[in-house]
Amino acid sequence: MSKTKQSDLSVLRNFYSYPAATLAPFGVNVSVNLDVKLFPNLPVPPDQLKLLADTLTAKIADRVTGGTAATAAQAKAFGTLADALNSDANIVEQVVGSDLEMLLNTGYLPASTNRTSSPLDDTAITGLYNNGSTQLLLRLATVRNAGSYQVQVSTDNGVTWQEAVVSCKAFRIVIPNLAPTKTYLVRARAIGGSTGSSAWVVSSSIVCT
């Protein structure tokens, strides 16, 4: 009996609905993880993608003191970055096929093939510990139908968040490359299901060793 071929993966494209302050770091994360050797035909190269993300960050800052024109400029920068991410996602899908690890290493998130009409349950943080120098160890409750778990960190008490890691496993997630003596908040959510993601759950603060 022949085995059924696993369906090719799709990139989760809900970044169009991200807040601007979330899309910019997401774009940076993708730009630093996309390997042009693995993905040689990207419509928007990683360095250009990072420039678009940095431009959006600048427009967000301009909007604080600007008026209607600054708001329009931010919206334009947002749309340009989202469209660039969407274009590159097409190539990523073609290359990764059914290789989930390869997809996660790009910084993009996988779209679920689950057809359930109900949203994902929220995960829960069951543990957060120092894991040696400059690392934290996060433990989450497993969520049925989740394909992965997205983790972000904040050093300003949740005002801004940076992408940290995407993991296929909930029980043991290592968060690397942190700054010693800094205080962090960690938040996580499950990715998958028909709604794309669960709600964020946020940790208590922890000082990284």
Total number of residues shown for the chain: 209
Tally Cβ neighbours within 10 Å of residue 17.
10
**Contact between residue 141 and residue 124 where contact means Cβ atoms under 8 Å apart:** yes
CB atoms within 10 A of CB 34: 22
The one-letter amino acid code at 117 reads: S
**pLDDT of the residue at 166:** 81
Given 3-state DSSP classes, what are the helix, strand and coil percentages for the chain, each rounded to the nearest 5? Answer: 35, 25, 40
Say which residue the tokens 């959006």 belong to.
Answer: 56
Q: What is the pLDDT of residue 157?
A: 92
Determine the pLDDT at residue 116: 47
Distance CA 145, CA 165 (A): 19
Q: Which residues in the chain show pLDDT less than 70?
A: 1-7, 112-118, 193-195
Cβ 59 vs Cβ 198: under 8 Å: no
CA-closest candidate to residue 155, choices 81, 205, 103: 205
CB atoms within 10 A of CB 2: 4
DSSP for residue 193 = T
Q: Judge whether 151 and 191 are in contact, CB under 8 Å.
A: no
At residue 167, the pLDDT reads 83
Q: State the amino acid at position 66 in one-letter form.
A: G
Strand 183-192 and strand 196-197: pairing?
A: antiparallel
Q: Write down the pLDDT at residue 193.
A: 62
Query: Mind listing the pLDDT tens digit for each residue in 144-194?
Result: 878 788 899 999 999 888 888 888 889 999 999 899 999 999 999 988 765
Q: Which fold has domain 112-207?
A: Immunoglobulin-like (2.60.40)
Q: Where in the chain is the domain with CATH 2.60.40.10?
A: 112-207
Residues 6+ apart with CB under 8 A from 68: none
Q: Which residues contact 28 (CB under 8 A, 6 or more apart)?
A: 50, 53, 54, 163
